[in-house]
A = this chain, B = another copy of it.
Amino acid sequence: MEEKVMNIGVVRELTGLSERQIRYYEERKLIFPERTKGGVRKYSFEDVKRIQEIHQKLQDGFRTLELKKKPFVGQQVRLSGNGG
């Protein structure tokens, strides 16, 4: 399931998210789709799973930057309070 074979349109359908959201997660370095020569993004089923987890975390109040590296282990849920 590591093969990067899907266009963003398929990922959109599988996840129910928008292309904007999917591209944004990449911009934040949370997912790493491949590209065709022409620049078209290609995703794997693993990516799809990851995208859904990211979205879930965002729902839980995380910010994308907090999801980098090992994003889904040993983290505390934070619904408010930005420190700062």
Contacts and interface: CB of A to CB of B under 8 A. Distances in A.
A42 B10 CA distance: 9
Contacts of A6: 5-6
A9 B5 CA distance: 9
Interface in A1-26: 5-7, 9-10, 14
Contacts of A7: 7
A36 interface: yes
A75 B6 CA distance: 35
Contacts of A36: 9
8 contacts: A5-B5, A5-B6, A5-B10, A5-B14, A6-B6, A7-B7, A9-B36, A10-B42
